[in-house]
Structure 1
Amino acid sequence: MTHPAPDTPAALPNEPRPHLTPPARDWLDQALAEAALGITPTTELRLAEAARRCGPPHADTARVLILRAAHPTPADLARVYHRGTADERRAVLQALPHLVPGPDAVPLIEDALRTNDTRLLSAALGPYAARHLSAHLWRHAILKCLFTGVPVADVAQLAARAHGDAELARMLADFAAERTAAGRPVPKDLHHVMALTDPEAVPPHPAYEDGVPHGKES
């Protein structure tokens, strides 16, 4: 087994202010100043207001910035996640690479992977899961993407983790056989992931994908 590389800070989301109206910029500045006091009921209210204040295209980034400004602990993030709406849960998942250096937040990833909310599934399989999710759970997450229609292009470090993974290849083959036997189409993404599991394929080099170091688990 190759041990994961040490955590490095994830790149921050794109700065939304140039794309916001003056009132929205003022609101975000105020929300960030308030968040500096930590995760409080006011901070949680600002997370809930983000879509209305900043508009849907920028709300996710605004929420991540607010969470980052609050310097939350894993326990704070878990509380926000479990009490929040689907949008707020997605923001917590997207913020994990910026806030949690170790595996303490893996239970939040596991919870998201138990849902059938495709937007949560996509957010859960970002750089944090690529680094910290066990091989067993990651393989099942890939199958769930195929089953629910989440594009595998959304999965961070897919090529690095799938390369030479014989167990994932077996699971994909079984899944394809089951779909074919039931007269159902095999997702196109399955063939893409299957190709990535080929040990003869050229692996990502160096062991980076999406700019984030990665180590594989067996």
Structure 2
Amino acid sequence: MDPGADPAGTAELRAALARVPDGGWLAGAVRRVAADPAAVARCFPAAGRRCGRDPLPGLPDWSADQGARALLLAALPADGLADRVAEVYRWGDAAEKLAVLKALPILPLGAAGVGLLADAIRSNDPRLVAAALGPYARHLDQAMWRQAVLKCVFMGVPLAAVDGLDDRADAELGRMLAGLAAERTAAGRDMPADATALLSRLEGEA
């Protein structure tokens, strides 16, 4: 697990998942995946049906299926973990991809999952773009991170979803936001209020 980057933690997820509809299935699935990593291909898609999709108590940013899938990934052996996680992401539907992205900070991957962030950022799904800018996004280089923030503004994703925004926003991001604001003004369109506030702050710092 990456130090200091775990937004929920496996202990918190386990506690929150204690009352899911089929907790016995989840416990068994975690054991199966730990013993046979290939089992994750069967268990991961089934988590939504077996555990439900309700918000987790105490962890409003997580749903039951996301939490269950995160625990399944956390049960995988470290050997070959990056390849296994990438395979689960590659073959998953949007909900499964979202669960993988949210689980990245609690997996001992280092920067090996950055390619999954890049794929999510290229997508047209605002949920995936927002998830890609969670705590694991600290592994993105600054240029890619700026482009991802700009895409959030373009797609109307609230900038509150961007982890560490205040620390990473810089003059170059301000320049890019100013360019987007000029384009929108010319087209008779407004900038989101949070993007306007960020631009004003960056211009003031400059």
User: TM tier, shorter chain?
Assistant: 0.7 to 0.9
Percent identity for Structure 1 against Structure 2: 45
Alpha-carbon distance in 1 for matches of 2:46, 2:145: 33
Match among 179, 188, 195 for residue 190 of structure 1: 195
* Paired position in structure 2 for 1:39: 37
- 1:216 match: none
Of the candidates 90, 93, 98, which is equivalent to residue 82 of structure 1?
90
What's the RMSD between the two structures over aligned residues? 1.9
Contact 2:17 2:68 in 1 (8 A): no
The answer (yes or no) to whether the contact 2:146–2:173 under 8 Å persists in 1 is: yes
Q: Deviations over 1:123-155 (max 9, x none)?
A: 1111111x1101111111011001111111111
Runs of 4+ in structure 1 deviating by more than 6 angstroms, as ranges, are none
1:9/1:98 contact within 8 Å kept: no
What SS class does the counterpart of residue 5 from structure 2 fall into? coil
Are the equivalent residues in 1 in contact too, given 2:111–2:139 (CA < 8 A)?
A: yes
Which structure has more relative contact order (CA 8 Å, sep 6+)? It is: 1
Q: Which runs of 5+ in 2 are unaligned?
A: 55-63
Question: 1:121-136 maps to which residues of 2 (within 5 A)?
Answer: 121-129=129-137, 131-136=138-143
Give the 3-state SS of the residue equivalent to 1:102 in structure 2.
Answer: coil
- Look up the match of 1:137: 144
Work out whether residues 112 and 124 of structure 1, in 8 Å CA contact, stay in contact via their aligned partners in 2: yes
| Structure 1 alignment gaps of length 5 or more | 1-6, 202-218
User: Taking structure 2 as the reference length, what is the TM-score of the superposition?
Assistant: 0.84
Tell me how far 1:50 sits from its aligned partner.
1.2
Asked whether the 8 Å contact 1:9–1:97 carries over to 2, the reply is no
Map of 1:1-218 to 2, 5 A cutoff?
7-8=2-3, 10-11=5-6, 12=9, 13-14=12-13, 15-21=15-21, 24-40=22-38, 42-57=39-54, 58-71=64-77, 73-129=81-137, 131-162=138-169, 165-197=170-202, 200=205
Query: Where is the helix percentage greater, Structure 1 or Structure 2?
Result: 2
Taking a change above 3 Å as real, the CA distance of residues 76 and 107 of structure 1, as seen in their structure-2 partners, is same
Q: TM-score, normalised by structure 1?
A: 0.80
For 1:147 and 1:189, the matched residues in 2 are separated by: 12
